[in-house]
Amino acid sequence: MNILVVGGGGREHALIEKIKESELCEKIYCAPGNAGIAKVAECLPIAATDIDALVNFARENQIGLTVVGPEAPLVAGIVDRFEAEGMKAFGPSRECAQFEGSKAYTKKFLQKHNIPTAQYKEVHSFDEAVSYLDKFSYPLVVKADGLAAGKGVFICPTKEDAYNSLDEVMNKKSLGDSGNVVVLEEYLDGVETSALCFVDGKTLVPMTSSKDYKRIFDNDMGDNTGGMGTFSPNPMVDEAMAEKIEKTILSPIMKGFLEDGISFKGVLYVGLMICAGVPKVLEFNVRFGDPETQVLMLRLESDLVRIMLSCCDGLLATQEVLWKKESAVCVVMASEGYPATSHKGDVIDGLDSMFEDNIKVIHAATKLTDDGIVTDGGRVLNVCALAGTLEEAREDAYAALGKISFNGMQYRKDIAKLDK
Ligand SMILES: Nc1ncnc2c1ncn2[C@@H]1O[C@H](COP(=O)(O)OP(=O)(O)O)[C@@H](O)[C@H]1O
Ligand SMILES: [Mg+2]
C-alpha cells in the first residue's frame, strides 16, 4: 500500500523508518519532509496544514493510509476530511483533537470523570482571571487554552508575575486567539513523565515508557525546548508505577471516552506529574511526542502499519503490540541560538560516515542545497542508538554523534546518564 506521512520533523522521519519495515508498505510519500526523509520517501512540496492539497494528492495517488504527525492539521480536522472522502487517516477527528487544541476542554473531561489532575479555574476575560488571583496559592500556573507550540504555559512565582502573564496573553494577545481563554492551575510539585497510548475508539493500549529532557543545558539548566533527548525504557516507570498509571489514569480515561460517546482514534499522549507517588494529569496531546517517538520506534517490535490500520478500523484489541527488550537513546543536535532563535544554512559534516547497524541518524530540520545538507531549524538531527543496555545505547549514540558536526551545534552530554 502507498502511505502518506504528514509533517517534516524528527518524529515523522522516525515513523517513516519504522513504516518502511512493514511488509504492507510499498511506497512512502511525505509532505513536506526534509533532507533525511528524502532518502527513504518521496517528499512533496505540500505544507502539513494544506489539507485540500493533501486530500487531493492522496485521492490521485491511491494512498491507502495517511499518517498525521503534527497537532495543527489534526486540530484543523484533517482526519474528518480524509474519512469524508472514504480514505483512511491515522489520528483523531477534529472533535477529539480538542483534547490538545483546548486545555480547558481536557480539564473539564478530567474533572467530570474524577481523573487526578491539578485544581483549576477556566477564565474568559482578563478581569475575570484577575479576580481569582487571590484565591490560589503560589506558584500559580497560567495556561493559554489553545495551541501555542510549547509557549503557552507560565509558571508564576508571585501574584504580580501571574498578573503580567495574563496581561500578555489576554490583553496584548501575545499568542493570538489561543489566549482568549485561560486555565489557572494549581502548581504540582513532582517528577514528570508521559504515557503514550494507541487508541482505536474502544481499546487503549499503553506504549512502553520513555523519558525526555526539556531543558537546553546539562543538569536540566537553561530554557525549555521542544526536547533535547530521550531514552526508553524509563526506570522511573517500573512495573508497579505502570500499573498505577494504567489503573488510576488510563483506564478511567478510556471509560470516560466511552461514557461520553467520544470515539478517540490515534495516539493519546498523557503528560503526567508524579507527586509523592501519585500520578496526576498535566495535559493531553493527540499525537506522537517528538523526540519520544524516535526511541519508541527503535523499540517497537510489532508492525507499525498494522497497528495504525487496526486503530483506524477499531481492531486494536486483536493486534499485537510488542516491544524489544533492548534500550534506546536519542540525543538531539540543535542549531546555534536554539531555543531563542535557530540558525539556518550551516553545512552539516559527517552525515555519510560509517554508522553501526544499531544507529539511526534521524533528520529533524535539514535541507538539501548546492552546498550539501544544511541546518534548517532549531532541532536539526536526532542521533539514536539501540543496544542491550541503556549504558551501551548511550555510549553508541554519543560515539555516532561524534562523527557529525556543524557550526554552532549544541547538544546535551547527559542524556540517559543516570545516577549523576
Ligand atoms: N500544574 C502544573 N504544575 C507544575 N508544572 C506544570 C503544571 N502544568 C504544566 N507544568 C509544566 O509546564 C510544562 C508545559 O505544560 P503543558 O501542560 O505540558 O503544556 P504544553 O506542552 O502545551 O506547553 C509541563 O511539561 C510542566 O513542566
Ligand atoms: Mg506538554
3-class secondary-structure state, position 15: helix
Q: Is any ligand 1 atom within 6 A of the Cβ of residue 118?
A: yes
> Residue for cell digits 540543535?
334
Assess whether 302 and 196 both reside in one domain: yes
Check whether residue 313 and residue 332 sit in a common domain: no
Report how many domains make up the chain: 4
CA distance 143 to 148: 10
Cα–ligand 2 centroid distance for 148 (angstroms): 11
101 lines ligand 1 (CB under 6 A): no
CA 229 – CA 227 distance, rounded (Å): 6
Give me the pLDDT at residue 418, please: 87
> Of 272, 292, 318, which closes a domain?
318
Neighbours of 240 (CB within 10 A): 9
Q: Is 122 in the pocket of ligand 1 (CB under 6 A)?
A: no
pTM: 0.96
Distances (CA, A) of 250 to 115, 203, 262, 281, 371: 9, 11, 15, 10, 49
Domain residue limits at 338: 327-401
Residue 106's φ and ψ, nearest 5 degrees, are -65, -45
Q: Which of 87, 89, 61, 64 is nearest to 76 (CA)?
A: 89
CATH number at residue 12: 3.40.50.20
Q: Which three cell numbers stand for residue 210?
A: 520513555
Q: How far is the centre of ligand 2, averaged over its atoms, from the C-alpha of 364 (Å)? A: 19
The helix/strand/coil state of 246 is helix
H or E element, residue 228 = strand 221-232
Domain membership flag for residue 207: yes
Same domain as 290, residue 199:
yes
pLDDT tens digits, residue range 285-294? 999 999 999 9
CB count in 10 Å sphere of residue 269: 22
Residues 51, 57: Cα–Cα separation, whole Å: 10
Residue 375 maps to a domain: yes
Quickly tell me which residue has 460517546 as its cell. 261
CATH number, domain of 153, equals 3.30.1490.20
Q: Please indicate, yes or no, whether residues 244 and 334 belong to a single structural domain of this protein.
A: no
Question: How many CB atoms sit inside 10 A of residue 278's CB?
Answer: 12
- 185 Cβ closer than 6 Å to some ligand 1 atom: yes
Q: Report, as ranges of residue numbers, the positions in the chain whose pLDDT lies below 50.
A: none
The pLDDT of residue 286 is 98
Which atom, in ligand 1's list, is nearest to the CA of 185?
A: 1
Please indicate, yes or no, whether residues 195 and 307 belong to a single structural domain of this protein: yes
Instruction: Give me 282's grid cell.
Output: 498535566
Considering Cα of 177, then 178, then 183, then 189, what sign does the dihedral take?
negative
Look up residue 150 and give its three cell numbers.
Answer: 510549547
Nearest alpha-carbon partner for 162 in 192, 191, 183 = 183
212 Cβ closer than 6 Å to some ligand 1 atom: no
Gap from CA of 355 to ligand 1 centroid (Å): 37
CATH for 380:
3.90.600.10
Contacts of 103 (CB under 8 A, 6+ apart): 143, 144, 145, 146, 183, 283
- Could you tell me the CA-to-CA distances from 96 to 71, 109, 149, 346 in Å, in that order? 11, 12, 19, 40
Amino acid at 85: E
Report the Cα 102 to chain-centroid distance in Å: 16
